[in-house]
Chains A and B, each alone.
Chain A
Amino acid sequence: MKRRLFLFLTYMLCFTLSAFAQKTITGVVLDGAANNEPMLGVAIVIKGTSVSTQTDFDGKFSISVKDGDILIFSFLGYSTREVIVEGDAPLAVVLEQDATLLDDIIVVGYGVQKKSDVTGAVASLNKDVLEKRPAPNLVTALQGSIPGLKIELYGSDAEGSKSSTVIRGSNSINAGNAPLIILDGAPYYFSWSELNPDDIESIEVLKDASSAAIYGSRGANGVILITTKKGQSDKARVNYHGYMTVLDVYELPKMMDGDTFYYYKNEAVGDFTLTERNTFLSKNYVDWVGLALRTGLNHYHTISVSGKTKVNNYFVSFIASDNQGIAKGNDFTKYSGRINFEQDIGKWVKFSTNTQINFVDRSGHHVDFQSAYYMNPLAQAYNSDGSLRLQTWEASTDVANPLAELNVVNSNLRRTIMTNNSLDVKFPIDGLLYRLSTNVQFDSRDENTYYGRDTYTGARNNGLLEIYDSYSSKWLVENILSYTKTFGKHSLFLTALYSAQHQTRETNTIEGSGFGSDVLTYWQPDKATALTAKTSEWTKTHVSQMLRANYSYDSRYLMTLTVRNDGYSGFGEDRKYGLFPSVALGWNVVNEPFLKGTKMQNLFNQLKLRVSYGINGNEAIDPYATLPRLSTRNYLGDDYSSEFGYYPTKLESPLLGWEKTASLNVGIDYGMLDNRISGTLDVYDARTSDLLLVKTIPSINGASSIWENIGKTHSYGVEFGLHSINISKKDFTWSTNFIIYANRTKLVDVGLYDENGNPVDDVASGYFLGWPTNCYYDYVFDGIWQIGEVDSNTPLHSQPGYVRYKDLDGDGDITPEKDQMVVGSREAKFDASLTNTFTYKNLSLSVYMIGRYGSLTPNFFVNSHTESYRINLYHRAFWSETYPINEYPSNTRDASSNPKRVRFYRSADFIKIKDVTLSYRLPNKVIQPLRLSKLEVYANMKNLFTFTNWVGLDPEFVGSSSRQRSIPQTRQYTLGLKVSF
């Protein structure tokens, strides 16, 4: 009401003024990008004066003018329009989104560049993606969004923390392949779940050597740049986004039920314990997985206030998020606040800060699903009086009740502060800028746990407590000098950097056992019968210098030269520094004068060729890796006191230095038919040498492995991205985003050579030339021995129903030396994703699918078991005389029917309808009376359906056996609301 009054008075004032000397003109400003909806907050200035006004909720304005005045209409992200005042008729001004403005400026590290000037393989995340795929964890939305950025989500805990991120394949064998993540200019070390998706303005992925070279040392695995939001409009804007998600289990592995288990155990083992016998007789079977599951529920609320004035800019946000996963006891709560603020101090200096404070609560132990899948279905969860049984049946192993984890008292809190503060100083020399940028991060983790007598562990120790604190602090200081100059058709952009970085972590652990009572839980270390404490520390430091020159001629010919010199404390004394140069060239073909007016130019509105070459480093080894450490083996004194014992188990590696990757990238950026079709195509070839390799050595040396810089890998691949607007009608649009990429990584040399000097496999370390590192070396499954096939010439212990192994050398015996080979690799041959978005008026539907092809993985669920039916098994087929199959061997107690323990390799290919979002933006005429500028509701569904031949859990959950036995995949239903005013 107040506001209206104010506006009214303003109108009146204008009126009064104009009545005297001038006329008043009225009009409306419409949004050309949103079906000509009225636009709020468009700035209108009379050119050459300071007279200005703004549009109101209805997009209307009125201003007093003279004939011949020029009105300037401007709004961020839209092309500015100038209109000459003629006559008195109301104006209707349509503002169009400025394609160049929106797309053009991208973050390239230590600065920004126009996209058309970029020479490297830099992919920008379409911001819509974050909007279209709401998820508490950013990484979920990133999956499948950028060619070459491979994200594997291999679990479904409440936090969404089970993921791996790799750019362009795994070049390094032991030194880690995770890309460097830069948040607002500083390395980000926390988990994806601790970022707030609603705070993020843009994400850029630097894939080739040239663009990543500015982060030389750590750029070998690619770089992900994340930039948080700034204030955008002069008017303070408040945004709210909230949603609620219900999670349900998507698919469970088909474990044996009680009857089936009894039948097969009886066949193979024959022995049963009291509980097993009683359960079988009463048929009172326990559904362990069912007991471990619940319906999950997530809440997410974020609110932000942002705006700007002539001298400052602010964005302040707060988020509260609470996730309850489908595993009982699996909770994740996060509160986080952010302040982004910029202030001009006088004419020459600008101060800015990006500060985030997080509070994360991971308290509680959840039911362990591996033991829920495997718990004996003939065991019992509860005693007859209803109390929890700690030992579910009579055995010494595989009896701990998985539900007893819920009795563990656990508090797990994490508090983090990340703050970037910088000063930008302009010099009197035009184009010369100095930036002093600092980053400070502090985080603490406090985890206290108590296993009371109502837990399996606690009962065995008369109570057990663990108190764990860890503190880490990091600082980074960067001095950046940059110079921008345009003269004639030449433009130059120079950047120099000098930086120092320091990271340190300290952890304190207290463990105690033997308590008189459980009442005080972990608040009683002073009452422990036996207590130990441990403190540890590490520090790592970096020093870096970087020079970059960007040059362009007439926006046609582009060049980038970069060199970075990096020092890392973790390497050997004389190997700490590495020098990483790169060069990149670009050619904007469509800007060539000779194409003017040709068909070619009509067809392409963008066509750029890029080529880059450079060397990057990888340092992903822990501090002190080069030093010879001692292991601990404490013994007892005659009085049963602890006698501390140390012994050497690790050799020093004094010559350890940088792993280097030299890569060549050739790419095309294209936009056709007025950008109806656009995208990129990149081809690359990367050769990594001086691998940071853990080499297996004879244990006679006192250690069975050592870090060395040996060996080479070779990666190459192709990445293709296509965005097309298939239909663009007044009320209806259909657009498609398609991504496909393929990467091949091969080991070329692992430091071993034959007599002729040719590289050979390192069988001891499991490194095989021509294969990626995660390949499988095993005996070869060759079906099942059938009745009548076994005679005295068949290898030892061939029996009908037993696994038949391929006798590779044909010597009649199956030996580890001669009958094993590489049977395949988990690396996918192709990864692809497809997003279709349909918009009808204010309604929008987005369907996102991903797929993987060519991945072979052992399926641990169908493995031959070795546990004598102490654990439950996946209900797969068994060979028998009456059911002589060729896929799986007969039912035996301890995998005797698979004496070589060959694993069962299965294709983990899939196509998945991952994410569907239906959103509706209420029309302005509905929301304006509510004083809102935006009101959107949406429904989202995740993991709709998976097409795959893989059995067990989700085919994305492949890799280690624990991944294949984790919390099952969830189907998620979300309802959300976005409001702005």
Chain B
Amino acid sequence: MKKIVIIAIILATCFISNSCTKDFLKERPVDEIYANNLLVNYSGFYSMISAQRGLMRNEHGRFSATAISPNSVFNGGSDLYFGNQRISTATWWNWPKLITQFTDGVVFKEIFDQMYTIINVSNMIINRAENDPEVDWEGGSVERNEKNKTSIIAQAKFFRAWAYRHLTYCFGDVPLSLEEITGSNYRTDWDRDPIELVRQAMIEDFQYCIDNLDWRVDGNNTKPNQAIARTYLAETYLAIDQVDKAIDVLKPLCEGNQFSLMTTRFGSNAGNPGNSFIDVFRSPLYTDGNNEVLYSFLNAEEESIPYGTTGRCEVRNMFKNYYSYLTEVSTLSHPDYEGKTIDLFWSLNGGKGATRLAVPIGAWRLYEWDNQQDNDIRYDEYTVVKKLYFLDSKNEVFEILNKDGESPIALVPTAAMFATSEGTIKNYFLPSTRKWDNLHSNFERASTDYCFQNVAYMRLSEPYFLYAEALHKSGDNEGAATWINKIRSRAQVSNVTSSDITMDFILDERARELLCEGQRRHTLIRVSQANGGDEREVDNFFKRRIREINEVCGQVEGGTSMLGTTTVSHGAELYDTPVLFPIPKIFIDSNTKIKIKQNEGYPTY
């Protein structure tokens, strides 16, 4: 028995001894980068800013869950665009009132998630840059160090305010988060902060950019800079009805000589038939000689850049029409291109489109103002698809014609546009923009969804329109006309006079100039909310213009269309139809400590 006791003690001793295991169990990952070992010097901070630029470019990228881009969601279902494919995740692009069914919609969730991802990255950068005295700013001198630091902080602030800009136009009041969040202080008790508070933070961030960033950063227009920050700051002032401040902010940009509209042919496209307007899109970089673009996204053909680096976006896919589905096109064949007629067709016509969004006939007719449609270089065949081409058996290019000997592309209203059922609209004969055309060198990729060229994100026209709008609101229609006429002159159309200037005219001119650019819904929401306006009001700019211009989304019960009486309401005349997006249901569900209030018009628990 004694022996057993002794043995038991020996065994137990083995068990208790806990020799130096603490070190053995410590984790030391060697292959990963962590914030703590990345954000120690300027290069580390710079790589986070690089990631932010990539995240920003994703406005033209594809959602993970559906083949549309955030940018198309910022435009679809406004006065200028309807869904030309029945994208099940965005049926409100044709039927504005159907948006109420999408509180769990993946696109709203992803927009919400993407914007807060950017905001969190900014918060981390700003917090660490401002509070960590150990950072090596790699400037070599106190002064250069300080400049590197403020440049990083300013760019981070730009991205943060840029994300809040999208959030406020999409969702209205949103939680304002300005602090770095860790696994120990994350929250499930967020609440929506008043939009005024969020905009105040945006104003401070944009102002910091203006104070600390050059007109062009690192000699190009591919990084956050003072020009784009001024534009957004002015827009934010206009959103809160501070017209004078908007004028002050824009004056140095519009009246200075840093930027100018391109009025002569230039860049890589200069030798091709075309005009100076389309050249702006073919060569958007300042280093290409482009003086007009404030901010451009970089892209590249993927075979030529390292793997794991994406150099593409889908902007063309969203706006260019799906012409290969036209009967005149889908019956074409060519003996040398068996099984590849689609590649051949698209390589001859500027790359494939999928018309997630089509421009309604009503919007194309805006070009007819003052009978300038034949002069307007923004509406000629170099800027807008009006003809389609293919190769004959001698490999010579010919124009595709329909059975009447005309181009299949035309502004023809069809019954499908006014169909009462939820069926798909397939208006593949409508014109569409060539701003995002792609002349990709790899024939096998002629029908790719992606575009690999640099993309102009903001052009000088945007601050000009904001300047004109601010001057108009301050009573200076003369001044407003000046800036509108700068844009019209370059487009080679007639000048307007101060008496022509109205808010609707500015919105019309914006449509003509910025078709398939920018975020039309944001603009309409902003001008509708001006002076305390309710964005759901049935006669505000948003809903009234849908009814006036967009023959698909704007159908009302008993209204008239190009084909006669419409019988079914798509909701643009109803106060109940929301204009802001729904707060994503998953956010409401996961924010368990505080019950988030849903936007008006949407179902709630």
Binding site for B on A (CB under 8 A): 271-275, 277, 380, 383-384, 389-397, 429, 432, 459-462, 479, 481, 483, 485, 492, 494-498, 500, 511-514, 529-532, 534-539, 541-543, 545-547, 563, 565, 567-570, 576, 623-624, 626-638, 640, 642-649, 651-654, 696-704, 706, 752, 762-765, 796-797, 799, 813-818, 866, 868, 892-896, 899, 901
Contact = CB atoms under 8 A, between A and B. Distances in A.
Given A460-B444, A543-B25, A698-B187, A633 B604 contact: no
A563 B38 CA distance: 43
Contacts of A813: 603
Interface in B300-326: 300, 302-311, 324-325
B141 interface: no
Given A396-B447, A532-B307, 20 more contacts: A274-B333, A389-B338, A391-B343, A394-B341, A536-B32, A539-B27, A543-B25, A545-B15, A643-B47, A646-B47, A651-B181, A698-B187, A699-B117, A700-B119, A702-B120, A702-B123, A706-B183, A762-B589, A799-B422, A817-B103
A763 B584 CA distance: 13
B330 A901 contact: no
Interface residues of B, number: 117
B421 interface: yes
Contact of A646 (B7, B51, B300, B306): B51
14 contacts: A390-B339, A633-B50, A635-B54, A636-B309, A642-B306, A645-B52, A697-B186, A699-B112, A702-B121, A796-B101, A799-B421, A895-B88, A896-B423, A899-B422
A647 B55 contact: yes
B182 A492 contact: no
B393 interface: no
B50 A634 contact: yes
A636 B311 contact: yes
A273 B11 contact: no
B444 A701 contact: no
B424 interface: yes
B116 A702 contact: yes
A696 B303 contact: no
B182 A636 contact: no
B11 A481 contact: yes
A642 B48 contact: no
B309 A647 contact: no
A624 B26 CA distance: 10
Contacts of A485: 4
Contacts of B101: 796, 814-816, 899
Nearest to B589: A764
A706 B175 CA distance: 20
Contacts of B423: 892-893, 896
Contacts of A546: 15
Contact of B603 (A563, A700, A815): A815
A462 B50 contact: no
A651 B7 CA distance: 48
A624 B29 contact: yes
Contacts of B421: 799, 896
A696 B32 contact: no
Contacts of A647: 48, 51-52, 55, 117, 121
B24 A529 contact: no
Closest 4 CB pairs between A and B? A645-B51, A702-B120, A764-B589, A645-B50
A317 B53 CA distance: 59
A272 B330 contact: yes
A394 B342 contact: yes
B121 A648 contact: yes
Contacts of A543: 21, 24-25
B222 interface: yes
B398 interface: no
A640 B305 contact: yes
Contact of A701 (B33, B187, B300): B187
B339 A275 contact: yes
Contact of B186 (A569, A640, A651): A651
A479 B14 contact: yes
A623 B27 CA distance: 8
B213 to A, nearest CB: 17
B591 A698 contact: yes
Given A396-B449, A636-B299, A752-B592, A274 B332 contact: yes
A816 B34 contact: no
| Residue of A570, A629, A634 contacting most chain B CB atoms (<10 Å) | A634
Nearest to B187: A701
Nearest to B26: A569
B35 interface: yes
B287 interface: yes
A816 B32 CA distance: 40
A568 B15 contact: no
Contact of A514 (B31, B304, B591, B603): B304
Contacts of B54: 633-635, 645
Given A274-B333, A634-B308, A643-B47, A628 B34 contact: yes
Nearest to B587: A698
Contacts of A461: 302-303
Contacts of A762: 589, 592
A529 B304 contact: yes
Contact of B338 (A383, A529, A814): A383
| Among A530, A576, A893, residue most surrounded by chain B Cβ atoms (within 10 Å) | A530
B142 interface: no
A653 B101 CA distance: 36
A901 B304 contact: no
A41 B271 CA distance: 96
A500 B23 CA distance: 12
A568 B592 CA distance: 32
A894 B86 contact: yes
Contact of B309 (A271, A534, A624, A642): A642
Contacts of A752: 592
A724 B322 CA distance: 70
Given A460-B444, A623-B27, A894-B88, A389 B339 contact: yes
B412 interface: no
Contacts of B591: 698
A380 B186 contact: no
Interface in B321-353: 324-325, 327, 330-333, 338-343, 352
Contacts of B354: 396
Nearest to B345: A394
Contacts of A483: 4, 7, 11
Contacts of A397: 449
A702 B182 CA distance: 9
B25 A700 contact: no
Contact of B305 (A273, A530, A624, A697): A530
A796 to B, nearest CB: 7
Q: Which of A394, A640, A652, A697 has the most CB of B within 10 A?
A: A394
B183 A653 contact: yes
B423 to A, nearest CB: 7
A546 B16 CA distance: 10
Nearest to B591: A698
Nearest to B8: A494
A648 B122 CA distance: 10
Contacts of A495: 11
A818 B603 contact: yes
A762 B55 CA distance: 30
B216 to A, nearest CB: 11
B442 interface: yes
A818 B605 CA distance: 6
Given A511-B307, A638-B285, A481 B34 contact: no
A530 B103 contact: no
Contact of B184 (A654, A763, A815): A654
A638 B104 CA distance: 39
Contact of A513 (B307, B327, B604, B605): B307
Contacts of B34: 627-630
B15 A498 contact: yes
Contacts of A272: 330
A343 to B, nearest CB: 27
- Among B285, B338, B605, the one with the most A-chain Cβ atoms within 10 Å of its Cβ is B338
